[in-house]
Structures are given as structure tokens and as C-alpha cells.
């Protein structure tokens, strides 16, 4: 068999599980909902004993989301209250 045909068959056989794996959707209930378009678990910290989550890895959802017991402000550091001061760099040039 030609080497190109063997490589093509191997490629097809490796792609079949990807096509058959199906689509995974988020589970929802009355108490909790995980939206499908949020990529999470990439950076920041996660604590407990009354919850703290700080994380960033490209969250396309922006804005608050709340229930009777919980509140989540999602997005790229939504509603950050820290003020940052910009300092310009000093560039020296020798003559």
C-alpha cells in the first residue's frame, strides 16, 4: 500500500472517535445552572467556608447572575473596584 493511503486511513481512524463522542451540554436545576458558554477553571483562586472564586480564562459571559442564596458576577473581572495608576516608563537615550 502507498504510504499516503496508510496515513490517510490512520487519520480517518483517529478522527472517528471525535465525531462519535457527541455534544456535551451543561446540567441545570432550579438551584444551580452552569451556562454552556463559560470556560472556567483556568487561573485565580478558589476557597470555601462561604465561597470565594477569582478566576480568568476567557469568560465570554458578562454581568451579574443571582439566586435567593448566591450571587455571581461573571466576565472579565466584572465590577472590579481597585483603582490602578498608570506610570509611564522613563526611556533614556545615550548620544
Q: What is the pLDDT of residue 9?
A: 92
Return the half-sphere exposure (C-beta side, CA atoms, 13 A cut-off) of residue 77: 7
Instruction: Identify the weakest region by mean pLDDT among 26-30, 40-44, 87-91.
Output: 40-44
pTM: 0.24
What's the pLDDT tens digit per position in 7-22?
999 999 988 877 776 6
> Where exactly are the structural domains of the chain?
24-79
Amino acid at each position: 500500500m502507498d504510504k499516503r493511503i496508510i496515513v490517510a486511513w490512520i487519520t480517518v481512524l483517529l478522527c472517528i472517535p471525535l465525531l462519535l463522542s457527541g455534544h456535551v451540554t451543561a446540567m441545570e436545576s432550579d438551584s444551580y445552572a452552569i451556562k454552556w458558554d463559560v470556560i472556567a477553571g483556568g487561573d485565580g483562586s478558589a476557597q470555601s467556608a462561604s465561597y470565594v472564586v477569582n478566576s480568568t480564562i476567557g469568560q465570554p459571559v458578562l454581568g451579574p447572575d443571582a439566586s435567593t442564596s448566591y450571587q455571581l458576577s461573571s466576565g472579565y473581572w466584572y465590577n472590579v473596584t481597585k483603582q490602578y495608576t498608570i506610570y509611564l516608563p522613563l526611556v533614556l537615550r545615550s548620544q
